[in-house]
Chains A and B, each alone.
Chain A
Amino acid sequence: MSVMGLFFISIFSFAILWLARQGVFAAHWLEEGEVANHRRPAATEPPPAAKVGLAIFLAVAGCLFSLLAAAFYMRGDAPDWQMPPIPGILWFNTAILVASSVALQLALVAARRAEFERVKTALLIGAATAGLFIIGQIWAWRELLELRFFASSNAANAFFYLLTGAHALHLVGGLVALARTTDKVRGEGRVTRALTTSVELCAIYWHFLLFVWLLMFAMLIGWTDGFGLICRRLLS
């Protein structure tokens, strides 16, 4: 529940900051003279709808992963809880996912500078590394299954599969978007504004999934046990 608390505090602070910037707090009919309604300076354009849409989707996905984490800690209190050994390949996968995120960031930088060839290469590297990450995750699953750590034998195993599975599915969805972006790059033949936006959205989504993965990985290898203890102490 503390996980959800943290999540909501961050969401609400974002929302309040945003509402304040929109001038919801202003009592403009009480103000004289200056038009207080529209504080937005003419120079800054509103962000594209797709970007706002992605931001809200990330809030939803963040909520989903926070709830899974909350469930992980609440269920982890039970005496039967026995974490499976963490396959070594996950360290490799983590490095690959970091590389994937870096590649997409480079693609974004290149797109902003309108360097077409670089965008293409960086996108392909990003997609390839992300694909490799998913294969690596499947490898980790197989390793655990061969060691007979089944989902039905312990809830901790089940959480391992559930968390990594949910994360991988989100990445697969991202790959679909990335494939479409790459396709657009091929079709356009040059860097356009719409293309830069698409690349930017992919990069943001990748960074989000990397962030989720790092937290999730820390949770799975037990680095956050101290956090769980603090939660329990706070609650009891």
Chain B
Amino acid sequence: MTDASVPQNLAPPPAEVEDVELYHAHSWITKYVFCQDAKVIAIQYAGTAITVGILALVLSWVIRLQLAFPGAIPFIDANVYYQSVTMHGMIMVVYMLTAIFLGGFGNYLIPLMVGARDMVFPYVNMLSYWVYLIATLVLVSSYFVPGGPTGAGWTLYPPQSILTGTPGYDYGIILMLVSLILFIVGFTMGGLNYVVTVLQARTRGMTLMRLPLTVWGIFAAAVMALLAFPGLFVACVMLLLDRILGTSFFMPSLVELGERKDYVGGSPILFQHLFWFFGHPEVYIVALPAFGIVSDLISVHARKNIFGYRMMVWAIIAIGVLSMVVWGHHMYVSGMDPWFGFFFAVTTLAIAVPTALKVYNWVLTLWHADIHFTTPMLFALGFLVTFVNGGITGLYLGNVIVDVPLSATLFVVAHFHMVMGIAPVLVIFGAIYHWYPKITGRMMDERLGKIHFWITFLGAYAIFFPMHYLGVLGMPRRFYEMGDTAFVPASAATLNIVITIIALAVGFAQSIFFYNLFRSLKYGAPAGGNPWRAASLEWQTPETPPGHGNWGKHLPVVYRWPYAYSVPGAPEDFLPQDAPPLRGEHSP
């Protein structure tokens, strides 16, 4: 196998994966509906996630309208407000972000980027989507039952979440818990697929240290999700039993409306532990794929190899490991032992080290690079700015003594929307603009894309940046209305109105994106196989969009890492991963 002219370190190894027999669709239904092709499943996942995401966006308008014009809109009463807050949070975090990054981008990109024909368990992969879809339908169906969806807040803290005073007591909370349990079952099926595909189905020469960072990010996030979601699963099952069977896992003895409940001795703090054992890793389950995708966008559009590839991989792993031991920082105000608080503050602040490494490496990749300000690049840069901003306020909130006064204020809302709301959403947009040509064979309109970027980026900043000030003023979050409150000045109300108007405008401006998305399907300029002249494997498919089985007759053979840009002596300014090695080349 070893060719004398091929440098030793670039020689491909003997076949590591045998080519697989693919499932072939026989009818329209098995090709587009109950499909086992990861690329179709990816689009189904992303489509569903974006659809519920739009619902959650509309719910955020309900919240903003109430905050700006308390009581002015008749149908927004306290129940509707709390239901909107709950559903907005839960949908965005779990059903939108997790599903689109892992189910959407994971399904589309993993097989193409590692050089596989499909996921290793295509049937389970298909089931994963359908269970996810059922979970979403169960969740949305809570709008059509008496009492409506639950208004317990996305954290679902007992005892309040399953007591009669909370909206959605009758059915909403049950549907929410059942939906989450289904989601986790569906996700576990998908997650097993993503992890095993990365481990087992890499093509010849595709070592772990030659994987694009996108795959590393999604892989690490999938591993974390597999280990973290059981926490939410256990919490949901136990809460459901408390609600339906009257067990006392979480419910202490209490008197409600003058009536003594049968619950005795349960521990609400136990629920918080289980919930945040999932809840914190969840932040990184969303962030790690975004980190990976941004690394690839920056490298491609700056025509330069990513700076410190190995450091980036290790940072991803370190963040993944650390994020499993920081959940307590969500519970500083639960009356925790100060030593615990100290432990969790230390681990929380320690995450800043690998995260900062990543930020430095992105900046160093841009240093002296040939930066093309394409739409994907703009979104990647927008991510850098919002992520650093949100990360820095995370350092404030990671300290117990700073967190305690700020915990119940809009400062926290500003922080987590910057770091896990806006930042990952900017990456999603960037990634769609970047991979759309591969998925459809056509380019999206650059001019509309840039308009979309500037409205979204500046608009999102204008929405969330002022909230830091409101938070420092002491403006509480979660409150339906403020009433007469001496410490909140009139100017805060004005600021709230401004924020709401911008939020409405930015929300509506997303229609530019959707117009561009659908219009380009038909009228976009033909993209060709590799419009960004990118080196990673998914751009080297024989067909665009990639056909069933991705690679034609033979699987590609990989000779180098995916960041071979501006290599001296190369005929072009990039070397595809599967191009035969150059004489004297010394790529990783």
Q: Residues of A at under 8 Å CB distance from B? A: 1, 4, 8, 11-12, 19, 22-24, 27-29, 31, 33-38, 40, 42, 46, 49-50, 52-53, 56-57, 59-60, 63-64, 67-68, 71, 74-75, 78-81, 151-152, 154-155, 158-159, 162
Closest A residue to B586 by CB, please name it: A29
Q: Is the CB of A158 within 8 A of B209?
A: no
A38-B13, A56-B192, A68-B234 given; name 8 further pairs at CB < 8 Å. A29-B587, A49-B120, A49-B200, A52-B199, A63-B227, A74-B267, A152-B245, A158-B248
Q: Is the CB of A155 within 8 A of B265?
A: yes
B134 within 8 A of partner (CB): no
Q: List 17 A–B pairs whose Cβ atoms lie within 8 Å, in order of A's numbering.
A: A4-B277, A12-B321, A29-B586, A29-B587, A29-B588, A37-B13, A46-B200, A49-B201, A56-B195, A60-B188, A67-B274, A71-B234, A71-B270, A75-B266, A151-B247, A152-B248, A155-B248
Closest A residue to B313 by CB, please name it: A24
Closest B residue to A60 by CB, please name it: B226
Number of B positions contacting A (CB below 8 A): 51
Which residues of A lie under 8 Å from residue B207 when comparing CB positions?
22-23, 37-38
CB distance from B167 to the nearest CB of A (A): 25
Q: Is the CB of A67 within 8 A of B277?
A: yes
| Number of A-B residue pairs with CB-CB distance less than 8 Å in the complex they form | 125
Closest A residue to B247 by CB, please name it: A158
Give A199 to B9 CA distance when docked, in angstroms. 40
Closest A residue to B205 by CB, please name it: A37
Q: Which of A24, A28, A78 sits near B9, CB closer than 8 Å?
A: A28
Q: Which of B16, B192, B200, B310 sits near A57, CB closer than 8 Å?
A: B192
Q: Mark B234-277, 1 if CB is under 8 A from A, else 0.
A: 10011001000111110000000000001011110010011001
In this complex, the member of A12, A155, A162 whose beta carbon has the largest number of chain B beta carbons within 10 angstroms is A155
Closest B residue to A29 by CB, please name it: B588
B102 within 8 A of partner (CB): no
Give A93 to B273 CA distance when docked, in angstroms. 33
Q: Is the CB of B588 within 8 A of A155?
A: no
B448 within 8 A of partner (CB): no
Q: Is the CB of B265 within 8 A of A80?
A: yes
Given contacts A49-B201, A68-B234, contact A24 B209 (CB under 8 A): yes
Which residues of A lie under 8 Å from residue B588 when comparing CB positions?
28-29
Give A208 to B239 CA distance when docked, in angstroms. 27
Q: Is the CB of A155 within 8 A of B586?
A: no
Which residues of B lie under 8 Å from residue A63 when comparing CB positions?
226-227, 230
Which residues of A lie under 8 Å from residue B200 when comparing CB positions?
46, 49, 52
Q: Is the CB of A64 within 8 A of B9?
A: no
Closest B residue to A15 by CB, please name it: B223
B333 within 8 A of partner (CB): no
B485 within 8 A of partner (CB): no
Closest B residue to A5 by CB, please name it: B325
B308 within 8 A of partner (CB): no
Q: Is the CB of A64 within 8 A of B234?
A: yes
CB distance from A57 to the nearest CB of B (A): 6
B483 within 8 A of partner (CB): no
CB distance from A4 to the nearest CB of B (A): 7
Q: Is the CB of B11 within 8 A of A79?
A: no
Given contacts A24-B208, A60-B230, A67-B274, contact A33 B265 (CB under 8 A): no
Given contacts A8-B324, A52-B199, contact A59 B265 (CB under 8 A): no
